[in-house]
Structure formats: structure tokens, C-alpha cells
Amino acid sequence: MYKIITVWGTIVLSSFSLCFGQNTSFLLLNGKIVDARSHEPVAYATISNPVDGINTMSNEEGDFIFKIPTDGKSDSIYISHIGYMTLALPIKALDTTIRIIQLQEKVVQLSEVVVRHLDPLDLIRKAFARMPDNYPSRPYLLNGFYRMTGFKEKKIVDLSEAVFDIYCPDNERKNKQFRLIKARGDIDMVAFNGNEVPIGRKPERLLDFDMVSRIKETQILGEQGLNNHEFTYNGMIDYEGAEAYEIGFDQKVGVEQSLYKGSIFIDTKSLAFLGFNYGLSPRGLKYREMKEAEAAKKADKQSAFFSNLLSNTVIIKYRKYGNKYYLNHVYTTTHNHFYFLGKKPFDCNPLVLKTNLLITRIDTANAKSLQEGEKMKTTRLIESMIADNSYRKDNFWENYNLIEADFNVDSVTRVIRRNNASLDYKTQLEGKLSEYKKDKTAMIDSILSFYHQKDLFNGTALVKYQGSVIYEKAFGMADRANNIPNTVATQFRIGSATKQFTAMLIMQLVNENKLNVTDSIGKFLPGYVHGEVTIQQLLTHRSGIPNYTENRAYLAKVILQKYTLDELISRFCSDSLEFEPGTAFSYSNSGFVILADIIEKITGKPFGEVLAERIFSPAGMKHSFFGTVPHTAGIALGYVNDIQEHMYPLENVAGAGAITSTVEDLLLWDKALSAGALLPKDKTAELFRPRVEWNEWEAYYGYGWMIDRFLFKISQKHTVQYHPGTELGLYAMLVRQPDKDIFIILLNNTGDFPRFEMTDLILNGLNE
């Protein structure tokens, strides 16, 4: 039997109407859909008005907005999701400000499933035969919404949205016409080193998502696809209120090409295809890699742009309107390796692209062929049609249903535009730096003052050159509410720059023969699930242990409650490995939390106490500390999009973060490193030895330090060692150039800032 878990939904009915289309008003419904048992959001639940052919979906946080025409024919809306009971809500009954709806548990008897074995290929062929009955043969018009979001690490670097029409004279893919109604978007050029990259979606790709319209041409269900994949009958499930057969598939062993693995869902009554979930099959990945490597060899190395698909997930859903089935929702996630070989090379690995496509309205009564001037070429990028000022208009989507973004769109686009502006600022400054060849202090001040005036730098800075401090200055406010300015003595959290301190403690213990970098975790943490991983693999992010701060569910817990290191590791750092230890690089805060616990186990003291005794005290760092302390006038508050950050137990990122310091204390840290005051110089050098490539940052990773390859211009002739830090609204940059005894410290408390551009300008000026 199957249980449909009870769902709670909160529906907020607005008390006003807005314009819908040209002559129609609508009611605006706001809601949030969560699971009744866990109270977790239900992502991508369908909220529909089936009689009028309109619908929307909840986002990843369970939130949605639904615009219902007041002249519509339907008297109810329906909420459905795979694995949950469909809920009908009478529109007339939605007459209160807030209404909570609870679905009762449903039990479905599936005893008949075990009576006979069903042949999956036979089911597929029967579904083929029923396609003329299940899918439209007469003209229809689809109105849809699409959003593509590109992520580099956790930062959104590409965002585009569009509303469109698809005219379909029948259900054949080749006959469909695409009309772009409205679009907006931005791309962060900083992420691609200033290169214009062809990232986006073409209408032809959006049309291709409708697998049923071209089903016998696909690599899965075309004739070759049926021969190259193996299919299994997995039983019956509830598929958004419909009883469905689930058929699993994977490419056959021995097929030497890159194919797919996933599931097909077929309605048990109509035999209509209800959905497809699939991605690249692990069995064929090596053939894709071989093909892409061959293409790279043949490309023009002076100007070649490459995009290698590392993995993907595709979810396609159909819904019934009248007695026919139509495309409803497509959600894709791809992990790509983007790189460019040209005048401004870059390597972006991986770039995660998420696409959400939702058909918001089906019109079978007023479907007319598009005029020639209305049709968009299906081979042109939608993003190429976006105006520069598109995100500046208020209520841009007020007339359209869409999937609510699960992030602040205005904030994201503001950051992207600010970053793009910083590229222009850097170009402007580069032309002026020659004026300061003889006065390097004035050169640095001109750079930092310029960025501060542009509202892009708010913090403190210190620069050492040839062993002497030549610049030290503070900008802006540490605490806006209390009007407290930043000073050179203001204390800032330094985020991931903490990792260099953790690595130093480990190397001190190595020097004392209390551990070896080749030792396994299990030697110090008996019973740990990944005990075979070594200390060195933790130090260089090659452990394969997933980054717990990238897990939304985990993050929601660690920001609310303080845990011991043992609890952090057992609860949040024990998931299955992403890869075999030592075979790949994947930045992971989990590894440095484990290192902190190992340090505690060996020394028998709390991590913060060990830091103070072994580093802060001997280095003379009297204004540095670990962990959470009450706010005082000397500590900078972090601001995210001009809103003060919410504090959390910093001890939950021990080893990976949670150090607070000043520019002057961090200068003492650099002096101790250079003098070998904390560790013999030969052992200190081990911290900076390149050990693994981090292509995404165009750097090597040592032990808690990055060694630049291409990001900074002077790295072609000089060694640059650095590590950035991110701590909610507090961002840091610590950079060393040993041959000229240069140390640059930039601390900012208003979120991300152009730290790489600013650092590059300063380094260039110091090396002229």
C-alpha cells in the first residue's frame, strides 16, 4: 500500500484585484505548502484552476502566488504533488485572510499489482499506440514562464526570466511556433573574467523539453533508445493524484556512448505519459568525456569556448486539461565545466545551471497561428532579446503567473550589476595608476577611496610593502544603528580565512610527532563512518566528504542551535562520499570541522583555547578570538543587502571559520609566518606548497592557503598566496607576495565586494 502524507497549506487571499491581460481582473492568492509531518516545504507542488486551464507551482521553499481571473469558470483550485493527496479548495470559501488546510492521510491498496508481472516495453508500446487519443491533434496555445539561474559556488552569476507563447497546430514538435512576450535578465561578467559567454536558452531547447511531441526521436524512447536501454517495471505510484505505472531504465552495459538513467510514469487508465525523470547514466559518462576531449583538441585554442556537461537532472511533467494531456512543468539542473581560451582566459568549474519552465495557461478556444513578425527564431538565445534596464521596472510580472523565486531577485540583480560596474571601474583605475608610480601609498588610497565612494568597500585595510606598513585606513560604519565607525582597531570575522590557522595547528602537531598528514581520521576518531580518509585529504579538500554548509536542511539547524564538534560530525558530516578520497577536489567546510575535532582530541583542550595558546598568544595577537561573544563597540556588524545579519553560534563552523581579528593582529600573523615563529620555516613552507588544482578559482590549494595561477596579473612572474573569507555580511581577503614581503588585508562588513579586482590593482601598482 501507499500512504499519501498529510499536507498543511497556508493560503492568503489578497483583498484587492489587479489587471490580468487587457480586460480581466484577478484575485491574488499567496500561499506556502509544507509537509504536515515534517513541516518541511513541499517544492514544485502544482496549484491549478483546471477548468480555466491555468496553474502555477510552489518554489523550492513551498511558496507560491496564484492569479485567478475573476471571470473564470472554475469554482475551485487544486493542489497536487507526487506522493501527496490532491486537495480541492473552493474559491468562494477563501474568504478569510489566512486559511489553514489539512489533508488527511490516505491509504491506497495496491494488492492487484503483485498479481501479474507487467512487461515494461509492452507498456511503453501500448502508450505509443494510445498517443492519438491522449494528446491534442487540434490547435492550442500555451502560455508559459521560464527562469534560468546560474550558480558559481553559492553565488548567482546568471539570471534570466521570460514569459512566452507557444502556438501548436497539433502535437508535433516540428510544427510549433514560439513568441517571446517579455524577458529580463543579467549575467555577472566578473565570474567569467569579463568574457561574453553564450549562456542561455534557445526556444528550440524549450520546445524540445516536450518529449511526447518528439518521443520517437529521443535517445531514450526512439528505436535506438529502446535497444540501447534496459527497462524494468517498478510498480505503481500515486502521481499527483493519478495512479501510475513506474518504469525504470538505464543504458545497457556495453553500449559505448553516453545515454541516460531514470524513470517513466504512465497513467494506468489512459496509458498517457505523465512524466519523465532522468539524467546522464554513470555507465556512459566516460564516453561523453572522450567525445568532449576530442572536440577540445580540434578547437581553435586562441578563441575556443568550451562547455562540458558533468552531470544533469531532468524532470518533465504533463497535466490533463479536458480529455487531453499537455506539457506542464520542466525542471533541469546541470553541472557544467565552462572555460575559455583567449585573451582573457577563465575556468569556471563547476557552473550549476537550473532551469524552471512552467506552462501557466492552456487555451484551446483561441489558438491562432502567429504572424511572421511575432515568431521568434528558435535558434536565437532568449537572453539576446533582454533590455539592459529590464530589471528596474516595478511589478514586471504583475499580469502573469510564474514560479516564485526562492531568492530576492532584486538583490541578486543589484549585486550582479554592481559587479559588472566594478569591471568598468577597474578599467578606469588602471589608466590612472601610472600617475602614482612614485607614491604607492597614494596609489592604494586612490583605489580604496574610489571603491568606497562607489559604495563597494566599507571596512578596514592594511598593506605591507617590503616589510613596512605603507597603508592603514578604515572606511564607513561598523554599526549603523549606533553610528559607530570602522577604525583600524575594529574586529571583523574573517570566515574561511580561518582555515590557514587550522592548517597551522595541524602542522604544529605534525612537527611534534603527534600526528602525520598520512594518518587516517579513524586513528583519532574511532567509529567515524569515513575513517579511511586521511588528514592530508581533509587539508586539501580531497576527502569526498560533502560540504555540510551546502545542505539547506543542515544549515537551517546549525544556525539555530550550538553543537559540540562530535555532534556536528556525527549529524552533519557523515553523509555518503561524493567521490573516492584523493581522486578529486571539492571545497568542503566539513573537512576543517573534522580537523578541529582531531586537534581537540590530540591536545585534550577546546579548539579556541588551542588557537589562543599556540597562535594568538605567541604571535602577540591580543585582539583576536574564536567563537561567539557579545557584541561590543569594537566589533563590526555584518550587513547583507543593507540589512543587519542574524547572528548564529559561530562554534558550529569551528576549524572552517569563526575567528574574529583586526588588521593589525593579522599583520602579526603574517610576521609570525615569515619569521618561522610558530613553526620552523621548512614546515611553514609546507602550508604554501601547491598540492591540488582548484580550477574554479584558477589556483592551486595547499594547506589552508591558495596559490594563484591566473587570477592576478603578477602571478605570471611572482608567487601570490591568498585566501578569501566569507561570513554572512563580513568578507575578507588576505594576500601575500613573499618575494617583496607584501601583505594585503581587506576586511569588509557590507557583504561581498570587488576584493579580487581591488587586490589585482594594488598588486599591479606595488610591482611597477
Residue 409 lies in a domain: no
The cell numbers describing 174, all together, are 516540428
Residue 418 lies in a domain: no
Residue written as cell 558559481?
152
Residues 152 and 277 in one domain: yes
> Is the Cβ–Cβ distance between 50 and 73 less than 8 Å?
no
Angle (CA) 301 303 308, round 5°: 75
Residue written as cell 565570474?
191
Residues 679-698 have pLDDT tens digits of 999 999 999 999 999 877 78
**Which CATH number fits the domain that encloses residue 718?**
3.40.710.10
Write down the H helix ranges in 267-316: 285-298
- CB contact set of 437 (below 8 Å; sequence gap of 6+): 768
Q: Which of 113-127, 288-302, 549-563 has the lowest mean pLDDT?
A: 288-302
- CB contact set of 193 (below 8 Å; sequence gap of 6+): 340, 344, 345, 346
Q: Which of 217-231, 379-393, 576-590 has the lowest mean pLDDT?
A: 379-393
Tell me what percent of the residues of the chain surpass a pLDDT of 90: 57
Residue 612 lies in a domain: yes
**What confidence score (pLDDT) does residue 23 get?**
43
Residues 596 and 682 in one domain: yes
Give the confidence band of 99 by pLDDT, cuts at 50, 70, 90.
low
- 640 or 499: which carries more pLDDT confidence? 499
- Asked if residue 462 has pLDDT above 90, the reply is yes
The edge-to-edge listing of strands for the beta sheet with 699-701 is 468-474, 459-465, 742-748, 730-737, 721-727, 706-708, 699-701, 692-694
Residues 27-70 have pLDDT tens digits of 778 778 888 777 788 888 888 888 888 989 888 888 888 888 77
Residues 256 and 275 in one domain: yes
**What confidence score (pLDDT) does residue 114 get?**
45
Q: In angstroms, what CA-CA distances link 14 with 28, 29, 55, 96, 472?
A: 5, 6, 18, 9, 54
Question: Which of 54, 77, 108 is the last residue in one of the domains?
Answer: 108
Residues 169 and 54 in one domain: no
Give the confidence band of 14 by pLDDT, cuts at 50, 70, 90.
very low
Residue 407 lies in a domain: no
Burial (0-12, 13-18, 19+ Cβ within 10 Å), 551? middle
Q: Closest Cα partner for 329 from 144, 52, 456?
A: 144
How many domains does the chain contain in total?
Answer: 3
Q: What is the 3-state secondary structure (H, E, C) of 226-270?
A: HHHEEEEEEEEEEECCEEEEEEEEEECCCCCCCCEEEEEEEECCC
Residue 699 lies in a domain: yes
Residue 499 lies in a domain: yes
Residues 705 and 724 in one domain: yes
- Asked if residue 77 has pLDDT above 80, the reply is yes
How far is 712 from 761, CA to CA, in rounded Å?
9
The cell numbers describing 280, all together, are 546522464
Residues 89 and 117 in one domain: no
How far is 126 from 541, CA to CA, in rounded Å?
50
Residues 115 and 104 in one domain: no
- Asked if residue 543 has pLDDT above 80, the reply is yes
The cell numbers describing 739, all together, are 618575494
At residue 512, φ and ψ (nearest 5 deg) are -95, 10
Q: Closest Cα partner for 143 from 320, 360, 326?
A: 360
> Is the Cβ–Cβ distance between 162 and 383 less than 8 Å?
no
CA 183 to chain centre: 22
**What confidence score (pLDDT) does residue 682 get?**
93
**What confidence score (pLDDT) does residue 19 get?**
31
The cell numbers describing 697, all together, are 578559482
How far is 136 from 25, CA to CA, in rounded Å?
29
Residues 99 and 245 in one domain: no
pTM exceeds cut of 0.75: no
Segment 356-384 shows an average pLDDT of: 89
- Asked if residue 346 has pLDDT above 80, the reply is no
- Asked if residue 187 has pLDDT above 50, the reply is yes
> Is the Cβ–Cβ distance between 196 and 230 less than 8 Å?
no
For the chain, the maximum distance between any two Cα atoms, rounded to a whole number of angstroms, is: 89
Residues 87 and 154 in one domain: no
- CB contact set of 93 (below 8 Å; sequence gap of 6+): none
- Asked if residue 669 has pLDDT above 90, the reply is yes
Which residues on adjacent β-strands are paired with residue 472?
A: 462
- The single-letter code of the amino acid at 334 is T
Residues 694 and 759 in one domain: yes
Residues 223-249 have pLDDT tens digits of 999 999 999 999 999 888 889 999 999
Residues 630-644 have pLDDT tens digits of 777 789 999 987 788
DSSP state for residue 615 in the 8-state scheme: I
Residues 451 and 584 in one domain: yes
How far is 369 from 378, CA to CA, in rounded Å?
16
Question: Which of 60, 81, 108 is the last residue in one of the domains?
Answer: 108
Q: Which of 516-525, 546-555, 628-637 has the highest mean pLDDT?
A: 516-525
Residues 383-409 have pLDDT tens digits of 877 765 555 555 788 778 999 888 888
Give the confidence band of 1 by pLDDT, cuts at 50, 70, 90.
very low
- Asked if residue 345 has pLDDT above 60, the reply is no
Residue 155 lies in a domain: yes
**What confidence score (pLDDT) does residue 657 get?**
95
Angle between helix axes 755-766 and 440-453 (nearest 10 degrees) is 160
Rounded to 10 degrees, the C-alpha dihedral 74/79/81/83 comes to -110
**What confidence score (pLDDT) does residue 5 get?**
24
Which residues on adjacent β-strands are paired with residue 88?
A: 78
Question: Which of 54, 83, 108 is the last residue in one of the domains?
Answer: 108
Angle between helix axes 589-603 and 499-511 (nearest 10 degrees) is 40
Q: Which of 260-274, 300-314, 460-474 has the lowest mean pLDDT?
A: 300-314
> Considering the chain, what is the average pLDDT of its residues?
86
How far is 40 from 594, CA to CA, in rounded Å?
28
How far is 644 from 630, CA to CA, in rounded Å?
15
Residue 558 lies in a domain: yes
**What confidence score (pLDDT) does residue 4 get?**
24
Give the confidence band of 98 by pLDDT, cuts at 50, 70, 90.
very low
Range of the structural domain that residue 541 is part of: 434-766
**What confidence score (pLDDT) does residue 708 get?**
95
> Is the Cβ–Cβ distance between 722 and 736 less than 8 Å?
yes
Residues 197 and 84 in one domain: no
How many other CB atoms are found less than 10 A from the CB of residue 432?
A: 12
Segment 447-462 shows an average pLDDT of: 95
Which SS3 state, helix, strand or coil, does residue 597 take? helix
Segment 490-496 shows an average pLDDT of: 96
